[in-house]
A and B are shown apart, each in its own frame.
Chain A
Amino acid sequence: VSSPRLGGLAGTVRWAIVPFSPRPPFRLYAGEGHAPIPVSDPATLVASARQGGDSEFTYLVPGKARPVLVLSEPPSAHHQELTALRLLRLSKVGAAEQDRIRRQEDPLLFHLDPGRFDLPDESAAMVSALVRIHVGALHGEAFGALNPKELRVLGERIIGFYGFDTSLLVARKIQELAARRRRRDEER
């Protein structure tokens, strides 16, 4: 999760074209006038790749235009992909569940206050639904944006859900803080 910056993408909710993850049976585009070629499992495709063919196929994967919560800025001019979370429309779940989400009682569903996010439907960001999106697949102005504190909370939940081991990172940060404090004490 990037720190939000003025005019940046991180923390904003925007329209995006979001594909679903490829899953069997895979369908390979076979050109105009031909039906897609179905492949029932990954083994056939992996076996072909192992033979060193390095063939690239066009997989027909369903996708949807939908609002997403963008988590990061594109890393560079040459790498224009960013991470985002899919949203859950609250109208799709029952009234009791909606209230739970509004009270932020489910750590994996981050409620987006309709007073701040002018979305077509009241929504919550799904912490467990991380997707990669190309910047070129985003469209339009932001529906709203999280503040730095909210984005930090969300980042913590994402790390927690995916089980990323941050102990070395935390230990290094503690050591850096301790060193900084020692330096300050020595300067006084």
Chain B
Amino acid sequence: VSKIVSERRDSSTARVPAVAAGEAIVFTRYDEEKTVVMHPDDFRRLSELDADLTEVTAGRAELSELTLEAHRLEDTPGTPVEDPERIKALLGL
């Protein structure tokens, strides 16, 4: 999961315990972690950290005019030498 998508629900729709800041309650089912309840401040902090991490690791450098020109100059095939005699002469064969 690359981003936490949250959904708001009224607390009257479920029996959710209150949790103090800095603490979390991990609900398990058959020994497996199912849900974690945490304080809203902690959740916001984690979400912000997640967003910051995504921001600092994302972003793509754009090709400048100069780099595009570099590709045109160095990355585009010219006219290959395909004459056998010329190849032999060039390579000293």
Contact = CB atoms under 8 A, between A and B. Distances in A.
Interface of A: 20, 62, 86-89, 92-93, 97, 100-101, 106-109, 124, 126-129, 157, 160-163, 165-168, 170-171
B71 to A, nearest CB: 7
Contacts of B53: 167, 170-171
Contact of A129 (B64, B66, B74, B78): B74
Interface of B: 2, 53-54, 56-61, 63-64, 66-67, 69-71, 73-78, 80
B57 A109 contact: no
A160 B54 contact: no
Contacts of A93: 66, 69-70, 73
Contacts of A168: 2
A88 B74 contact: yes
Nearest to B64: A106
Nearest to A61: B77
B63 A163 contact: no
A162 B77 CA distance: 23
